[in-house]
């Protein structure tokens, strides 16, 4: 009865979503058909007034066999375009060739904050100057991106070229809304050798390329150098290869960095921030040897001991070791702001946050280092936006020209100049991040991290799965249930969703 009461309270309390969690986890996809889904704002789970439900497990220790050599020197590249499986049929492309002298008009949209939209406006101007026979209307969206895109698709007004993310890709593919770019790229003799393999893999479905990758953002450990110096401890390693930097070493560092932890996790200074979004906690689960689904995506693996152990470790950081803020603390100030004000020593983050930190964390030195190795060694997660072409476009060639322009070396260089993205082109990524001259001075850790990226479990109804994960993991983050209990609740729900077929 008590568990039912707690669950009822959770269901009655809206949780706050960050913008990136909303984009990654939005239920707005084509899962239930082309219907606009309402996006709700939510608030953080209420912090418990007592410790977690039962005793926690010991810190996962790294197995001897899990040691890994440093990343190979050569980048992991996409050497060729994915080949359509043998026997697969492709419908001929239906395109409209403009009459001589007739200008082609294209619609372009993406999710973008104002500062980045300004860059895209300049890129669109450049594209139109280079292609005077093509005009482009660019419409950036700052909120409810996928619901708005769904409304356009339902009304037959899907833009010619539009922003896509890997999390929602499968849902749009099964609804046959995206143009397969494989034959278009082949016809254009397009060279993919300058693209990171992680980017091409993220947007390939059964051998068909469904979007051009624009970014390949992976994760690293942001850390406050000043706090490490004050505590008199070594900072995290700045390059892959040191497997002594493991879960136990991370806890030891977090303890040394924490000042004034109370019974509810309140502290003047925290050792770390616990990642509570999939793209940030996934590397920790994979590093411990855990996983979310089996290889063919038909069964949940969340109750496997390694998965449970890794999630329990993350909860222990908050309630057992008291080195991380509780959801109650984060309900008044988000984790990135706490890091920027010098109140958090370490945080699992991505490059997109660098612009914010350069502006708001100028009063102390900070850098990016290695996420700790677990039982299975190092692991990382990568997902970044790409550019899709609507299957309904009348101008395939011109849309391809625009999409490929947006991932050209010139365009990616301009977009990455502010340091807020990891470009999908190897040459641009290495130019920007190979030898950084601005903070973080070891941003090249993001390039090395791409060698340890694991396959994402982004099935066609992933948004439904992740929404379920957000709801159930709230009981883990607030300490009301152990990882074992939460995973037992998640498994049957995930199994059911994995068995669901698109209708």
Per-block mean pLDDT, blocks of 10 residues, the chain (503 long):
46 40 39 32 35 56 46 40 34 50 89 86 97 97 93 95 96 96 97 96 95 96 97 96 96 96 67 98 98 97 98 98 95 94 97 89 95 98 96 97 98 83 95 92 96 95 97 98 98 98 88
The helix/strand/coil state of 239 is coil
- In the prediction, which pLDDT does 7 show? 47
Instruction: Specify whether the CB–CB gap between 265 and 325 falls below 8 A.
Output: yes
The helix/strand/coil state of 120 is helix
Q: How many residues does the chain have?
A: 503
For residue 390, the cross-strand partners are 178
Whole-number Å distance between alpha carbons of 238 and 245: 11
Integer distance in angstroms from the first to the last C-alpha of the chain? 37
Give the total number of structural domains in the chain.
1
DSSP-derived secondary structure for 438-497: SSSTTTTHHHHHGGGBPPP---TTHHHHHHHHHHHHHHHHTTSS-HHHHHHHHHHHHHHH
Handedness of CA 252, 257, 260, 265 (dihedral sign): negative
How big is the chain by its Cα radius of gyration, in Å?
23
- In the prediction, which pLDDT does 103 show? 81
Of the candidates 236, 308, 220, 303, the residue with the CA atom closest to the CA atom of residue 271: 236
- Predicted TM-score of the model (pTM): 0.83
Handedness of CA 243, 249, 253, 254 (dihedral sign): positive
Q: Which domain holds residue 131?
A: 104-217+383-436
Instruction: Specify whether the CB–CB gap between 406 and 419 falls below 8 A.
Output: no
> Dmax of the chain from CA atoms?
75
With tokens 């991932």, the residue in question is 407
Backbone angles phi, psi at 104, to 5 degrees: -100, 135
Whole-number Å distance between alpha carbons of 439 and 363: 12
Instruction: Specify whether the CB–CB gap between 299 and 495 falls below 8 A.
Output: yes
Q: What strand order describes the sheet that includes 104-111?
A: 134-141, 104-111, 161-164, 386-389, 212-213
Whole-number Å distance between alpha carbons of 60 and 54: 18
Establish if 284 belongs to a structural domain: no
Whole-number Å distance between alpha carbons of 107 and 435: 37
Establish if 35 belongs to a structural domain: no
Phi-psi region of 111 (alpha: psi -120 to 50; beta: other; left: phi over 0): beta
Of the candidates 123, 200, 110, the residue with the CA atom closest to the CA atom of residue 159: 110
Whole-number Å distance between alpha carbons of 98 and 397: 11
Establish if 30 belongs to a structural domain: no
Whole-number Å distance between alpha carbons of 100 and 316: 68
Nearest 10 degrees: Cα torsion 449, 452, 454, 455: 80
* Token pair in block for residue 31: 């899962």
With tokens 């990136």, the residue in question is 20
Backbone angles phi, psi at 361, to 5 degrees: -125, 40
Establish if 419 belongs to a structural domain: yes
- In the prediction, which pLDDT does 416 show? 87
β-pairing, 270-273 vs 344-350, is: parallel
Whole-number Å distance between alpha carbons of 455 and 200: 12
Whole-number Å distance between alpha carbons of 290 and 66: 13
- In the prediction, which pLDDT does 72 show? 38
- In the prediction, which pLDDT does 12 show? 41
Of the candidates 225, 230, 277, the residue with the CA atom closest to the CA atom of residue 25: 277
Backbone angles phi, psi at 269, to 5 degrees: -155, 130
- In the prediction, which pLDDT does 98 show? 61
Give CB contacts under 8 A, 24+ apart, made by 470-475: 470/15, 470/17, 470/21, 470/25, 471/10, 473/276, 473/311, 474/10, 474/15, 474/45, 474/327, 475/6, 475/7, 475/10, 475/45
Establish if 304 belongs to a structural domain: no
Q: What is the CATH number of the domain that holds 159?
A: 3.40.190.10
The helix/strand/coil state of 173 is helix
- In the prediction, which pLDDT does 11 show? 47
β-pairing, 134-141 vs 104-111, is: parallel
Establish if 307 belongs to a structural domain: no
Establish if 162 belongs to a structural domain: yes
């Amino acid at each position: 009865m008590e568990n039912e009461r707690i669950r009822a309270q959770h269901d009655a309390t809206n949780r706050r979503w960050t913008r990136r969690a909303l984009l990654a986890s939005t239920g707005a996809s084509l899962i239930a058909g082309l219907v606009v889904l309402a996006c709700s704002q939510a608030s953080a789970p209420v912090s418990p007034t007592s410790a977690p439900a039962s005793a926690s497990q010991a810190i996962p220790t790294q197995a001897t066999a899990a040691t890994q050599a440093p990343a190979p020197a050569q980048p992991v590249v996409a050497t060729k375009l994915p080949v359509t499986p043998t026997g697969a049929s492709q419908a001929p492309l239906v395109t409209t060739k403009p009459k001589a002298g007739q200008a082609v008009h294209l619609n372009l949209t993406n999710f973008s904050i104002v500062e980045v939209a300004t860059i895209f406006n300049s890129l669109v101007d450049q594209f139109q100057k280079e292609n005077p026979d093509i005009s482009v209307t660019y419409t950036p969206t700052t909120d409810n991106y996928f619901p708005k895109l769904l409304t356009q698709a339902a009304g037959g007004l899907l833009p010619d070229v539009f922003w896509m993310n890997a999390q929602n890709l499968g849902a749009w593919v099964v609804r046959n809304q995206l143009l397969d770019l494989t034959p278009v790229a082949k016809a254009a003799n397009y060279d993919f050798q300058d693209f990171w393999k992680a980017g091409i893999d993220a947007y390939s479905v059964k051998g068909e390329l469904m979007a051009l990758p624009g970014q390949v953002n992976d994760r690293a450990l942001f850390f406050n150098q000043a706090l490490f110096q004050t505590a008199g401890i070594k900072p995290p390693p700045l390059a892959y290869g040191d497997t002594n930097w493991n879960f136990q070493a991370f806890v030891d560092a977090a303890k040394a960095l924490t000042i004034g932890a109370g019974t509810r996790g309140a502290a003047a200074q925290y050792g770390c921030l616990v990642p509570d979004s999939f793209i940030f906690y996934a590397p920790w689960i994979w590093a411990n040897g855990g996983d979310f689904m089996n290889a063919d995506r038909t069964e949940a693996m969340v109750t496997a001991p390694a998965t449970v152990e890794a999630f329990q470790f993350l909860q222990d950081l908050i309630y057992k070791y008291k080195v991380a803020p509780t959801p109650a603390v984060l309900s008044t100030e988000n984790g990135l702001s706490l890091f920027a004000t010098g109140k958090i020593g370490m945080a699992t983050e991505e490059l997109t946050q660098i612009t914010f930190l350069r502006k708001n964390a100028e009063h102390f030195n900070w850098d990016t280092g290695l996420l700790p190795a677990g039982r299975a060694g190092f692991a990382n997660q990568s997902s970044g936006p790409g550019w899709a072409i609507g299957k309904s476009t009348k101008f395939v060639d011109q849309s391809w020209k625009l999409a490929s322009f947006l991932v050209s070396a010139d365009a990616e260089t301009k977009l990455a100049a502010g340091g807020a993205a990891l470009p999908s082109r190897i040459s641009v990524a290495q130019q920007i991040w190979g030898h950084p001259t601005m903070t973080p001075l070891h941003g090249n850790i993001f390039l090395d991290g791409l060698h340890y990226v694991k396959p994402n479990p982004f099935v066609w109804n992933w948004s439904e799965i992740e929404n379920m994960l957000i709801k159930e993991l709230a009981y883990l983050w607030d300490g009301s249930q152990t990882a074992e209990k939460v995973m037992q609740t998640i498994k049957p729900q995930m199994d059911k969703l994995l068995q669901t077929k698109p209708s």
